Chain A
Amino acid sequence: MADKPAEKTLIDIVTESDHVKDLKGPELTGEINVPRVEEGYAVTGNYAHVRPYPAKPDIMDSLGFPETIVDNWEEAAIKRLGELLEKYKSLQVYLDICVRCGSCTDKCQFYLGTGDPNNMPVARAELLRKIYKKYFTTEGKLFGRFAGARKLDLKVLSEWYAYFHQCSQCRRCSVFCPYGIDTAEISMAAREIMDAIGLGQKYTNMTIGKLLEVGNNLGMNEKALGATLESMEEDIEEEDGFPVKLPLDVEGADVLLVTPSADFFASPHVESLIGYAKVFHQAGISWTMSSLASEAGNFGMFIGNYTLMQKAATRIRNAIEQIKPKRLVVGECGHAWRIAYSFWNTLIGPFDSLDPNYPAPQHICELTLDLVKRGAIKLNKEANDEFTVTFHDSCNVARGTRMGTRPGGQFTIPRELIKASCNKYVEMDPATTMEKTFCCGSGGGLLTDEIMEVRVAGAMPRMQALHAVMESDGVNFMALICAICKASFTKIMPKYGVPMEVAGGVHQLVGRAIELGAKE
């Protein structure tokens, strides 16, 4: 501490943080209690001190943002907000029409977990709305604080930095809002404004940098990737005795699989990759991954930056042009599936070169379940008899995408697939699943250790619901279809005294159950 520079920069002030090292989640009781706002207006932010590391100047520069907070940042922020208001209907309408009814106030896992009133979705949105009112509305100019209008100053900016990084953009609040106000849209806009004035978050921006430089979030080049896949093939053959391949950059393959790069090395992610490979192998589908598109994820969405998101997505288009596949399939990843399903067609479409008989893109669960139903692959449920399984709906999949042709296919298709892979399946409390699912607590760019305190707190509702079925039904496996969920749960479960092996992928179950070898 002694050798700290005396002069604090703006960045230092705004991002100042206490990082707690060793922390545990609250005791698991199976109940999700709504915290009380302690002293009304008096308490503003018992979690204000938890702030992520700021992005370094070189990263900011490489993404086209100012290196550090610019001198005229207030002006620059208002200007950027004005531009966004003209570009995003969501932002314009949502900033105007919230009636502060309060329906969303007890819906966010970060409020439930932290008890910090600024984590109520409407309060989070007000952090930006009050600036909007001050600079853009007659009501705010006339009534000032009565209308909730406030001048943009360093205090507001540091609140933004704290609380817009305590939102995983999970959209849970929007389900319960009479107008569908989606606080994720507001937090994306706020992050975009912060980046535009030179205040970025390290984890997200560094990851986007690697994605744009090398092609995946890990910064793994094509040689390293190829070597990893090869050694994995050897492992599978050793274990199962079948030459299951993990092909890379095979031009002319029928299926191009784009999957989160965590699938290449992280645990339990690799198990799902092996699962996909076995499915393709057994169904006899020619497939490949691509070193150009070695990442399904795209953190450009987290910072609300259209340009970067589109730039990052363009790798997929390049890979399609190179491989010339007939089908485009996406692996298990929540935000990636949202971008793929909802945005790719807009960002990099149309996919005219692909076979129109298949949806483009297609989710791996859609593909696998279809094969199971057509009898092209067989699953032996007994292989998973050691597990009693439950399913965590990843919020990005649940509230921002679909699978299949009917609304709600994103709920039924993974469940059908799980039930086809195991004998014992249990649902968690319906108030915590499907469209009402809770986030794992680490989505939306929060998967970084310096804000562990927020992540552990944000996981509380899901952990309570999981605990309840572990106690009542002996659940010992929570199936996931999101790389971030997998990474976060394996880390956070132990902090609640739950073994990390309880978290795993849907295709991990499929991979264990699939019958390899000659078909009858």
Chain B
Amino acid sequence: MSGLTLVFGLFFYVSLAIFLGGFLGKIWQYASTPAPLKIPQTPAPVTAGGVGIRYLQEVFVFKSLFKGNKLLWVGGYLFHLGLLFVLVEHLRFIIVPTSSILNFLVAFDLYSGFVLLAALVFLFILRVAVDRHAYISLVNDYLLLLLLMGIAGTGLLSRFWSGGHIRAHIPAIKAFVGGLVTFHNIGAVPTNKLFLIHFSLVMLLLIYFPFSKLMHAGGIFFSPSRNQVDNPRERRWTTPWVKVRPTATLPRLEREAAAAPVQVAQAAPESTAEA
């Protein structure tokens, strides 16, 4: 194993470890932080199944975003759809005997890559051009879009730019990445520069993921305004961290209680006498 293979191999495993550890750590944090009160944003489903449907709509059609901003919806939806397709198509570098469904999808990768890049450019333009979006955008928001464009761009270049000379390296890439993923027969790292840039950018994305707003991908499922069932009257919700509740509150009641201690004192001996 060459030094370079070792470096990139380690890069891969370290990035993956940070991504998985960080992501699962965050999910654990979200899952274990209590939600003290019922705060579904109503009208909300009154059954758990209804909440499931609410989520299908949010995750697969970005329903609330659609209500909020149509342009953003178009950009955001195409971006995520492109991303999903591209991710699935990448399985062909990992799963060696490519399945027929995969082959079918791969036929689209021409489009999905371009859609992905175009949507990213569009989202970037929205951030710059719409006054309100520009006002709220942070440097990191732009950088993340640029990183994703870099990934999509280098990916597309590898396919469509003959100067990238990536064709000849495909078997090597498969051997390398496939080996990394299966911990088995890791091939030498391909020396194609375009590939190495593409690969490194993806690793950066993985590392950045759990520490950033990208956690929306997991966090969305833990949003109390969306994941709670609207049934507070029907089913009592309890606050885990409240161990004792106040009893009488008004000073008036406390005074009354203080003014009538006799009753309490009398009741006790009587009941003991009975027992």
Contact = CB atoms under 8 A, between A and B. Distances in A.
B209 to A, nearest CB: 11
A233 interface: no
A147 interface: yes
B109 interface: no
Contact of B37 (A98, A107, A147, A343): A343
A176 B33 contact: no
Given A314-B247, A346-B232, A407 B44 contact: yes
B42, B137, B245, B248: residue with the most chain A Cβ atoms closer than 10 Å: B42
B269 interface: no
Contact of A37 (B64, B131, B225, B253): B131
B143 A146 contact: yes
A415 to B, nearest CB: 14
Interface in B112-158: 126-127, 130-141, 143
Interface string A189-225: 0000000000000000000000011110000000000
Interface in A163-203: 171, 174-182, 185
Nearest to B76: A101
A178 B219 contact: no
Contacts of B134: 37, 40
B242 A310 contact: yes
Interface stretch (A84-92, A250-258, A260-268, A451-459): A84-92
Nearest to A88: B36
B236 interface: yes
Interface string B56-73: 001000101101110010
B237 interface: yes
A148 B142 CA distance: 12
Nearest to A92: B33
B241 interface: yes
B35 interface: yes
A311 B233 contact: no
A155 interface: no
Given A120-B136, A146-B139, A176 B69 contact: yes
Interface stretch (B82-90, B162-170, B210-218): B210-218
Contact of B131 (A36, A145, A406): A36
B232 A315 contact: no
B41 A314 contact: no
A311 B134 CA distance: 44
A123 B135 contact: yes
Given A87-B241, A101-B65, A178-B64, A341 B232 contact: yes
Contacts of A139: 140, 211-212
Given A179-B216, A182-B41, A407 B143 contact: no
B247 to A, nearest CB: 7
Contacts of A92: 29-30, 33
A175 B139 CA distance: 27
Secondary structure call for the A interface: helix
Nearest to A146: B139
A92 B241 CA distance: 16
B191 interface: no
Contacts of A359: 233
Interface in B77-104: none
Contacts of B45: 407
Nearest to A141: B211
A129 B38 CA distance: 23
B224 interface: yes
A126 interface: yes
Contacts of A107: 68
B132 A346 contact: no
A407 B46 contact: yes
A138 interface: yes
Given A399-B42, A410-B42, A345 B236 contact: yes
Nearest to B75: A101
Given A96-B213, A98-B213, A341-B232, A148 B41 contact: no
A87 B34 contact: yes
Interface in A330-353: 341-343, 345-350
B238 to A, nearest CB: 6
B236 A361 contact: no
Contact of B220 (A97, A348, A400, A402): A97
Contacts of A212: 249-251
A437 B238 CA distance: 30
A470 B6 CA distance: 75
A347 B38 CA distance: 11
Contacts of B37: 306, 342-343, 346
B230 A407 contact: yes
Contact of B133 (A89, A102, A185): A102
A107 B65 CA distance: 12
Contact of B211 (A102, A137, A146): A137
A120 B132 contact: yes
Contacts of B69: 101-103, 176
A126 B236 CA distance: 34
Contact of A90 (B135, B141, B225, B239): B225
B8 interface: no
B246 interface: yes
B172 interface: no
A97, A175, A213, A411: residue with the most chain B Cβ atoms closer than 10 Å: A97
Interface string B7-43: 0000000000000000000100110011111110111
Given A120-B132, A146-B139, A315-B249, 14 more contacts: A90-B35, A93-B223, A98-B213, A101-B69, A120-B135, A138-B211, A146-B138, A147-B140, A175-B68, A213-B251, A341-B233, A342-B37, A399-B42, A402-B42
Interface of A: 34, 36-37, 40-41, 85-90, 92-94, 96-107, 117, 120, 122-123, 126, 137-139, 143, 145-148, 171, 174-182, 185, 212-215, 292, 306, 310-312, 314-315, 318, 341-343, 345-350, 359-361, 398-402, 405-408, 410-411, 435
18 contacts: A41-B135, A89-B224, A92-B33, A100-B136, A101-B76, A102-B69, A102-B130, A105-B132, A117-B136, A137-B211, A147-B140, A215-B252, A310-B245, A311-B249, A318-B249, A346-B239, A407-B46, A407-B230
